[in-house]
């Protein structure tokens, strides 16, 4: 027996669910009946399973050669359990549990929920959809809602005959009965409850395209079928690519990808019935930007990767969630990189890796694999440490042992654990066998300990290079504390590139001690650590080494290497290890930069500086931005050229936006307004990648008339991307009265709850409204808590990191403390530490930054 109240006892094991559901979209309710086949291991008079927000009216247990017996049902709402007791002991053996229940189609975007959209005539239409991960299948039907209780699901939906039903498997029977359409689906493979899905509504499919023997279709609400071609192409490509990589055929009998009008996260990997928010699946190829296309490609490939990694082989418990998500994220890069090599997907991954670094540099970070008990803790695991740090360390390992060996280890792991569950160590064992190396020893610190190393490189006059490791933290730690962060050591696969007069050589080292020495050849000219940029560690060079790199020329480095150099230096600046003037001097070398990802670091750092300055000092920053960005803009101009890559087009948009907003370039602002109006009136063609920049600039400089125009565009948008662009433009104005209108709208039906918390977070980051936005959050907290999906509320709170003044920080801390708000896991603690680091940086360096800015642009 398990003593953990959040874990079910394991002497009763389900193997098969025969589930029938009858949703009524007009009354927003459903009724259901389930017959669960059970193996009872030892005599018992009690069966415990999960259920919450359900009424379970009847419980009956039947078995061969036994008289059916009724059970008494007790719902334990706080533990989300249903306890069924019988008057006498049930002998061990196979039994069938029959349960009748009813529930509500809720509006919280979890469990079995309700979504709405307006049809072409402007009438409200309804969709019922499911979202079960992590622990919400129990809101749709009583079940053993833990990932290791895998079972076969046979699902039947009784629906209004005018509607369509989709579930994990093919339809095996579809008939009319008593005014209802009864749709029966094929039995699923053995899988976890969180992967079950059913969707009911007026939905339209594409014609199927075959990926091997699997028909692949995209579904949308009526009218959006023209937006499916792009997603369809990557869906089919990635499914073929993945089946080939894994060496195992796709485990389902069909694959449907379904865009749902209201959806809390990006997408959900239900076997054979993947659900998406519309922006992550549908787009218009003629008007979408490179970034918007990249997002759809990423999400589709990611979810497809889960069909094997997650669905076929599943983590045994939620502490192992990282294995699912990090791996799907890793495979998403691999698949998209194979599909569009010109997108340089692994360089773009630098941006995601940087997001993981910024949380993992906190004292309140957590290990990738981390204990989970309550459902709220499981929800908190969906963060950058699970996805992006996890994927980063997998990439580091893959590059260390070699891509083919890595793939063979993955194949071995999947074959061994197919239809079952696995632990992290199972993957290491499989990879270790394939690589013939001690992979567990190599990976343990990366997975089971928090943080990551900083490698400090110094060289002496004799040409001896010393590589010293210690944990990187934004806040100084005491090196004298036994077992403190400063004593942690990692086994670090290090790629060291040494350039001499004769050329370059790259050495693969495994740095495991505190210091590692390398004797450089006498004619060395430069040294680069983390060559190719796959390592999950930061690097600092002493002044000699940095000067040598600059002498050789930073443009000689690969984009991801320049990215890392800038990003690591900026992080060290925030941490107080590098003076701001030094960082700003380094940025001089990037005026001719042509890679949008490297620019993302530069522009991100300028935006952070903008947060620290008072309005009086912002013209200094604007001058710096014009100085750094100007040359790139001169070479790119306003107009896309024939044969230009998608990345250059994306960069042009980023550069124009930076000049027109942070750079306050009035010529660019005026031209943006002219270009936008000419484009709207169809007098001018504009590359789609520029449009978001124009919208941002016009909001930044905009008045009430512009606000109303953008609000109208939001309501009349023709694609999910356009809708999102104009919605978020409403948080990018500078006029406080206009921003207050946006704030007020976040609590109304005008904005979907899938978007509203993210809009609030954007407003908390906007320096022209952040105080009022924070006051608004405090005043409306209870309503937001009721209204918004839990995951959205948690993300919204991340916006407090933008409140970087000592007064606001005090107020934020007091509010969360007094209201006893818990966002699950370490989430809140991390937000508060990030805020504290921002305030510390501001208080310590605001004066230095002002001086450095004045110097830099004299």
Shortest reach from residue 321's CB to Zn ion, in Å? 9
Q: Residues, the chain, total?
A: 858
The CB density around residue 429, as the number of other CB atoms within 10 Å, is 18
Candidates 163-171, 327-335, 667-675, 749-757; binding stretch for Zn ion (CB under 5 A):
327-335
Question: Toward Zn ion, which CB reaches closer, 302 or 538?
Answer: 302
**Is 342 an active-site residue?**
no
Shortest reach from residue 269's CB to Zn ion, in Å? 6
Question: Toward Zn ion, which CB reaches closer, 328 or 800?
Answer: 328
Shortest reach from residue 413's CB to Zn ion, in Å? 18
Question: Toward Zn ion, which CB reaches closer, 328 or 492?
Answer: 328
Shortest reach from residue 728's CB to Zn ion, in Å? 24
For 183-215, letters b (16+ CB in 10 Å) and e give bbbbbbbebbbbbbbbbbbbbebbebeebeebe
What is the Cα 754 distance to its own chain's centre? 15
Question: Are 114 and 66 in contact, with CB atoms under 8 Å apart?
Answer: no
Contacts of 550 (CB under 8 A, 6+ apart): 589
Candidates 13-21, 328-336, 726-734, 741-749; binding stretch for Zn ion (CB under 5 A):
328-336
CA–CA separation, 293 vs 303, rounded Å? 16
- 3-state SS, residue 858: coil
Residue listed under structure tokens 């379904």 = 258
Residues 494-513 binding Zn ion (CB under 5 A) are: none
- 3-state SS, residue 81: strand
Query: How does strand 255-260 pair with strand 273-277?
Result: parallel
Candidates 326-334, 667-675, 764-772, 811-819; binding stretch for Zn ion (CB under 5 A):
326-334
Question: Toward Zn ion, which CB reaches closer, 251 or 663?
Answer: 251
Question: Toward Zn ion, which CB reaches closer, 260 or 601?
Answer: 260
Shortest reach from residue 260's CB to Zn ion, in Å? 16
Candidates 222-230, 232-240, 322-330, 520-528; binding stretch for Zn ion (CB under 5 A):
322-330
> Does residue number 313 form part of the binding site for Zn ion (CB under 5 A)?
no
| Cis before 666? omega within 30 | no
Candidates 321-329, 453-461, 786-794, 842-850; binding stretch for Zn ion (CB under 5 A):
321-329
CA–CA separation, 773 vs 748, rounded Å? 16
Print the SS3 string covering 709-771: HHHHHHHCCCCHHHHHHHHHHCCCCCCHHHHHHHHHHCCCCCCCCCCHHHHHHHHHHCCCCHH
Candidates 78-86, 324-332, 412-420, 764-772; binding stretch for Zn ion (CB under 5 A):
324-332
Question: Toward Zn ion, which CB reaches closer, 323 or 539?
Answer: 323
> Does residue number 326 form part of the binding site for Zn ion (CB under 5 A)?
no
> Does residue number 328 form part of the binding site for Zn ion (CB under 5 A)?
yes
Question: Toward Zn ion, which CB reaches closer, 321 or 777?
Answer: 321
Question: Toward Zn ion, which CB reaches closer, 325 or 654?
Answer: 325
Binding string to Zn ion for residues 574 to 613, with x set by CB under 5 A, is what?
----------------------------------------
Dihedral of CA atoms 466, 471, 476, 480 in degrees, nearest 10, equals -80
Question: Toward Zn ion, which CB reaches closer, 328 or 603?
Answer: 328
Candidates 276-284, 291-299, 320-328, 614-622; binding stretch for Zn ion (CB under 5 A):
320-328
Q: Find, among 789, 725, 811, the residue nearest to 762 by Cα.
A: 725
- 3-state SS, residue 110: coil
CA–CA separation, 550 vs 465, rounded Å? 18
Question: How many residues bind Zn ion, per CB under 5 A?
Answer: 2
The DSSP element (H or E) to which 162 belongs, if any, is none
Q: What is the DSSP string of 299-362?
A: HHHHHHHHTTBTTTBEESSGGGHHHHHHHHHHHHHHHHHHH-GGG-HHHHHHHHHHHHHHHHTS
Question: Toward Zn ion, which CB reaches closer, 90 or 328?
Answer: 328
Print the SS3 string covering 15-29: EEEEEEEEEECCCCE
The DSSP element (H or E) to which 533 belongs, if any, is none
Shortest reach from residue 127's CB to Zn ion, in Å? 22
Q: Which residue is nearest to Zn ion (CB)?
A: 328
Shortest reach from residue 136's CB to Zn ion, in Å? 16
Q: Which of 303, 325, 388, 722 is catalytic?
A: 303
Print the SS3 string covering 482-522: CCCHHHCCCCEEEEEEEEECCEEEEEEEEECCCEEEEECCC
Shortest reach from residue 385's CB to Zn ion, in Å? 14
Question: Toward Zn ion, which CB reaches closer, 325 or 561?
Answer: 325
Shortest reach from residue 131's CB to Zn ion, in Å? 13
Shortest reach from residue 445's CB to Zn ion, in Å? 25
What is the Cα 56 distance to its own chain's centre? 35
Shortest reach from residue 328's CB to Zn ion, in Å? 4
- So which residues are the catalytic ones? 303
**Binding positions for Zn ion, rule: CB under 5 A:** 325, 328
């Amino acid at each position: 027996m398990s003593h953990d109240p959040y874990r079910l006892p394991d002497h009763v094991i389900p193997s098969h669910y025969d589930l029938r559901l009858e949703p009524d979209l007009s009354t927003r309710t459903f009724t259901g009946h389930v017959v669960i086949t059970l193996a009872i291991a030892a005599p018992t008079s009690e069966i415990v399973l999960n259920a919450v927000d359900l009424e379970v009216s009847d419980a009956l247990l039947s078995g061969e050669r036994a008289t059916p017996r009724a059970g008494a049902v007790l719902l334990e709402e706080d533990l989300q359990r249903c306890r069924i007791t019988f008057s006498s002991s049930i002998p061990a053996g196979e039994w069938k549990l029959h349960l009748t229940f009813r529930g509500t189609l809720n509006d919280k975007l979890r469990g079995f929920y309700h979504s709405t959209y307006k049809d072409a005539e402007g009438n409200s239409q309804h969709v019922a959809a499911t979202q079960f991960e992590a622990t919400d299948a129990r809101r749709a039907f009583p079940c053993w809602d833990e990932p290791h209780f895998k079972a076969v699901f046979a699902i039947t939906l009784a629906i209004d005959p005018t509607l369509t039903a989709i579930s994990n498997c093919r339809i095996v029977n579809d008939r009319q009965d008593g005014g209802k359409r009864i749709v029966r689906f094929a039995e699923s493979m053995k899988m976890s409850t969180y992967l079950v899905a059913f969707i009911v509504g007026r939905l339209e499919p594409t014609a199927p395209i075959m990926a091997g023997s699997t028909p692949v279709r995209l579904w949308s609400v009526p009218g959006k079928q023209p937006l499916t071609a792009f997603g369809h192409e990557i869906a089919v490509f990635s499914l073929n690519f993945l089946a080939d990589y894994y060496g195992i055929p796709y485990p389902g009998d069909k694959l449907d990808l379904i865009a749902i009008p209201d959806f809390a996260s990006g997408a959900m990997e239900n076997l054979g019935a993947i659900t998406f928010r519309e922006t992550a699946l549908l787009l218009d190829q003629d008007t979408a930007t490179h970034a918007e296309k990249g997002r759809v490609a990423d999400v589709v490939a990611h979810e497809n990767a889960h069909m094997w990694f997650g669905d076929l082989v599943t983590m045994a418990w939620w502490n192992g969630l990282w294995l699912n998500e990090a791996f799907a994220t890793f495979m998403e890069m691999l698949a998209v990189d194979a599909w569009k090599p010109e997108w340089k997907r692994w360089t773009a991954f630098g941006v995601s890796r940087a997001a993981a670094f910024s949380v993992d540099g906190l004292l309140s970070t957590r290990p990738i694999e981390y204990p989970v008990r309550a459902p709220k803790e499981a929800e908190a695991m969906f963060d950058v440490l699970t996805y992006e740090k996890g994927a980063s360390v997998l990439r580091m390992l893959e590059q260390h042992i070699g891509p083919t060996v890595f793939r063979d280890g993955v194949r071995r792991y999947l074959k061994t654990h197919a239809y079952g569950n696995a632990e992290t160590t199972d993957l290491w064992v499989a990879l270790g066998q394939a690589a013939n190396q001690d992979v567990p020893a190599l990976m343990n610190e990366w997975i089971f300990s928090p943080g990551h190393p900083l490698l400090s490189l110094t060289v002496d006059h004799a040409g001896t290079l010393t590589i010293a490791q210690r944990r990187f933290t934004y806040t100084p730690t005491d090196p004298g504390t036994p077992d403190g962060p400063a004593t942690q050591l990692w086994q670090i696969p290090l790629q060291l590139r040494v350039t001499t007069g004769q050329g370059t050589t790259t050495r693969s080292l495994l740095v495991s001690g505190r210091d590692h020495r390398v004797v450089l050849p006498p004619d060395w000219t430069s040294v680069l650590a983390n060559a190719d940029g796959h390592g999950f560690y930061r690097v600092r060079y002493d002044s000699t080494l940095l000067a040598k790199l600059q002498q050789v020329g930073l443009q000689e480095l690969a984009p991801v290497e320049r990215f890392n150099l800038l990003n690591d230096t900026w992080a060290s600046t925030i941490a107080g290890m590098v003076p701001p003037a030094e960082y700003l001097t380094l940025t001089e070398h990037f005026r001719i930069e042509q890679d949008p990802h490297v620019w993302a670091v530069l522009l991100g750092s300028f935006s952070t500086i903008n947060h620290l300055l008072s309005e009086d000092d912002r013209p200094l920053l604007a001058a710096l931005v014009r100085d750094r960005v100007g040359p790139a803009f001169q070479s790119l101009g306003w107009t896309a050229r024939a044969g230009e890559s998608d990345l250059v087009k994306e960069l042009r948009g980023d550069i124009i936006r930076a000049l027109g907003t942070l750079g306050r370039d009035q010529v660019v602002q005026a031209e943006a307004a002219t270009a936008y109006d000419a484009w709207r009136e169809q007098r001018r063609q504009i590359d789609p990648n520029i449009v978001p920049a124009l919208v941002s600039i016009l909001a930044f400089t905009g008045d009430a008339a512009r606000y109303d125009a953008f609000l109208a565009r939001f309501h009349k948008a023709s694609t999910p991307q356009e809708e999102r662009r104009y919605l978020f433009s409403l948080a990018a104005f500078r006029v406080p009265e206009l921003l207050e209108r946006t704030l007020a709208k976040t609590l109304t039906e005008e904005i979907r709850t899938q978007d509203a918390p993210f809009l609030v977070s954007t407003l908390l980051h906007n320096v022209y409204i952040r105080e009022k936005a924070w006051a608004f959050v405090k005043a409306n907290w209870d309503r937001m808590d009721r209204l918004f999906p839990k995951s959205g509320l948690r993300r919204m709170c991340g916006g407090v990191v933008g409140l970087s003044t000592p007064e606001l920080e005090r107020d934020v801390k007091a509010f969360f403390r007094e209201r006893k708000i818990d966002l699950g896991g370490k989430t809140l603690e991390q937000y508060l530490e990030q805020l504290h680091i921002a305030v510390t940086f501001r208080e310590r360096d605001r004066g230095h930054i002002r001086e450095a800015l004045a110097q830099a642009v004299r």
